Amino acid sequence: MALVEFKDVKKIYKMGEVEVAAAAGFNFKIEEGELVVIVGPSGSGKTTLLNMLGGMDTVTSGTILIDGTDITKFNEAQLTDYRRFDIGFVFQFYNLVQNLTALENVELASQICDDPMPAIEALKNVSLQDRKDNFPSQLSGGEQQRVAIARALAKNPKLLLCDEPTGALDYKTGKAILKLLEQTCTEQKKTVVIITHNSAFARIANRVIKIREGLVVDVVLNDNPESADIIEW
């Protein structure tokens, strides 16, 4: 059974008389342990997809099965629990709590889980154990994103969802972050979903889902993904 299965998922906004479909009927599957890249241009509905997948947004119709459970039927509290236990998020702008040190930011996530990874271990995984007592303002963008990844991993989530994780970073740092996500998938056997407008990332993915205008236009399975080190954009 697939870890994730979207069945005709629609998200329609009503702007007065006009209906705008951010998702016009997504259909795809994600298997456990895959590194998935969802790629599409601006306005294609990829963030909507991620929000629905992450339990941050509701669907208008369709079903999203996670491990066979339809999360579209969840109420708010169940969605919160779903986010809490099953999902790890990494954002474009890191969204670290400024008033917490790196370690504390990780703890923020780990302390609410049943089976968290020790915070310091999560930081080791992203090689930031030496900066654990620094505040976000004392860290570079890449370091902050690594803290964000550590925070997401510390929860031991089923799914790691990354929204343009390199969007605010320079090329080199972005590449390092991508590498880190790749390692997370391969070494820690996590299912990682990366959302990006950058199709170059497709080369590191096991599964590439291409979307445009609220629809999945192509799903490419890649049995031999390349390493993040060698891709260029």
Partner 1 sequence: MKNLFFKELLKTISGSKRRFFALFAIVALGCGFFAGLLMSGIDMRYASDEYFNKTNLMDMRIVSTLGFSEDDLDEVIKIEGVKSASESYSYDAMVNTGDKTLSTRIHSLQDRTVLKTSDSSSDTGYKVETICDKDTNPQYENDVDSLGGNSINQLVLKEGNWPTANNECLISYDLKETTNVKIGDKIVVQNTTDDLDDWLTQTEYTVCGKISSSFYCCASSLGTTSLGSGDLDQYIYVLPSAFVDNVTITDLYLRLENPKNFQNMSKEYLDYVAGVKDDVSKLAETRQKMRTQKLKDDAQKELDENLQKFNDEKLSAYSKLNDAKSILDASKLTLDNGKNELEAARIQADEQFASAQTQIDSTRMQTQSALDELLKIDPSTLPDDERIQWYIKVETCKQTLAALDTKQAELDAQKEETYATLDEKTRELQEGQNSYNSGLSDYQSGKAKADSQFADAQKEIDKAQEKINEIENAEWITLTREETYGVKSYDMDASRIDSIARIFPLIFFLVAALVALTTMTRMIEEQRQLIGTFKALGYSRRRITNRYLIYAGIASVLGAAFGIAILSQVLPFIVMYAYAIIYFIDIPPFLLPIDWLSVLLSGGVGVAITLLTSYLVARKTLRTPAATLMLPTAPKPGKRIVLEHIKPIWTRLSFLHKVTFRNIFLDKKRFFMTVIGITGCTGLLLVGLGLSNSINDIIDVQFTDLTHYNTTLTYDDDAHSSDVSQIENELNKNEYFSGYTNLYTKSMMAFSDSNDDLRFEIRVVEDVDKFKEFITLRHRLGHETIDFNKDSVVITEKLATQLNIKAKQGFQIAELDDKGNKTAVTYDIEADDIAENYVQHYIYMGSDAYEKITGKNYYANTFFINRNTQNYLQDDMDSVMHNVDSVKTITYTDQIITLYKESLRSVNLVVVVLVVSAALLAFIVLYNLININITERVREIATLKVLGFRKRELKNYIFREVIILAIIGALLGLIFGFFLEGFVITTAEVDVVMFGREIHLLSYVISFVLTIIFTLIVLFFMGFKLNKINMVESLKSID
Is residue 109 close enough to count as binding partner 1 by CB under 8 A?
Answer: yes
The CB-of-72 to partner 1 minimum distance in angstroms stands at 16
Residue 151 touches partner 1, criterion: CB under 8 A: yes
Interacting residue with partner 1 among 28, 30, 38, 83 (CB under 8 A): 83
Neighbours of 232 (CB within 10 A): 7
Query: Which is closer to partner 1, CB of 53 or CB of 202?
Result: 53
Specify the residue, 90 or 181, whose C-beta has the smaller distance to partner 1. 90
Could you tell me which of 215, 189, 216 has the C-alpha nearest to residue 206? Answer: 189
Applying CB under 8 A, the span of 81-89, 180-188, 209-217, 221-229 interacting with partner 1 comes to 81-89
The span from the CA of 153 to the CA of 130, in Å, is 18
x/- mask, partner 1, residues 17-56, rule CB under 8 A, reads ----------------------------------x--x-x
Q: Based on CB atoms, which residue is closest to partner 1, 39 or 52?
A: 52
| Cα torsion 58, 61, 63, 64: sign | negative
Tokens for 75, please give them. 């109420």
Site for partner 1 contains 77 (CB under 8 A): yes
Residues that bind partner 1 (CB under 8 A): 51, 54, 56-57, 77, 80-85, 87, 89, 91, 93, 95, 97-101, 104, 107-109, 111-112, 135-138, 151, 155
